[in-house]
């Protein structure tokens, strides 16, 4: 049983790390702020989401599992709104920002 849980964690967390990597590569490679913003949100949503998914079966109690999900949801909210706010600031200033 624990082997299955471990395997699940390894796959999910590994996939999460991949999205963090992809987000960073996007940050490095994309030419303008808006597309860099797009790359960044991938790390927020999928990267952390998959890491949380991988940690879920390892949590000690139901409350801590719920907290993990809440953390992910809050980061989603923060990432989405911050991307909106920053994106709007970029557009207001033109492409120079």
Partner 1 sequence: MSVLQALDIGLAFLVFAVAAWTIFAPGAFAATVGYVVYGLLLSLVWIRLFAVDVALTEAAIGSGVTGVLLIGAAARLRAAETAGSEKSLSGSPRLLVAVLCVLVAMALAGVVLLLPDQGPSLAPQSMQHLPETGLGNPVTAVLIAYRAFDTMLEKVVLVLAVVGVWSLAADQYWGGAPGEARAERPEPTLAFLAQILAPLGILVGIHVFWVGADAPGGAFQGGAILAAMWIIVMMARLTEAPQTEAFWLRLALVAGPVVFLAAGVAGAIFAGGFFAYPPGFAKPAILFIEAFMVLSIAVTLPMLVAGPPRREPRQ
Partner 2 sequence: MTEFLLATAGVILFTVAVGLVRILGGPGDADRLMAAQLIGTGGIGALLLISAATGAHGVEDVALGLALLAAFASAAFVNSAAPAEAPDPADGR
Binding site for partner 2 (CB under 8 A): 6, 9-10, 13-14, 16-17, 20-21, 23-24, 27-28, 33, 36-37, 40, 43-44, 47-48, 51-52, 55, 58, 64, 67-68, 70-71, 74-75, 77-79, 81-83, 85-90, 92-93, 96-97
Query: Tokens representing 8?
Result: 């699940």
| From candidates 64, 85, 93, 97, binder to partner 1 by CB under 8 A | 85
| Cα distance between residue 47 and residue 5, in whole Å | 19
Q: With contact defined as beta carbons under 8 Å apart, do 26 and 42 qualify?
A: yes
CB of 1 to partner 2, least distance (A): 14
Place of tokens 């082997």: 3
Alpha carbon distances (Å) from 81 to 20, 47, 65, 91: 19, 17, 25, 15
| Cα distance between residue 95 and residue 53, in whole Å | 37
CB of 71 to partner 2, least distance (A): 5
Q: Examine residue 70 and tell whether it contacts partner 1 (CB under 8 A).
A: yes
Return residues touching partner 1 (CB under 8 A): 70, 74, 77-78, 81, 84-85, 88
């Amino acid at each position: 049983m624990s082997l299955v849980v471990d395997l699940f964690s390894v796959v999910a967390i590994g996939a999460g790390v991949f999205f963090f990597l992809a987000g960073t590569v996007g940050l490095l490679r994309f030419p303008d702020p808006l597309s860099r913003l797009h790359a960044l949100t991938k790390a927020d949503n999928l990267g952390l989401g998959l890491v949380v998914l991988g940690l879920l079966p390892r949590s000690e109690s139901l409350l801590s599992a719920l907290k993990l999900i809440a953390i992910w949801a809050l980061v989603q909210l923060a990432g989405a709104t911050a991307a909106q706010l920053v994106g709007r600031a970029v557009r207001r200033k033109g492409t120079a920002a």
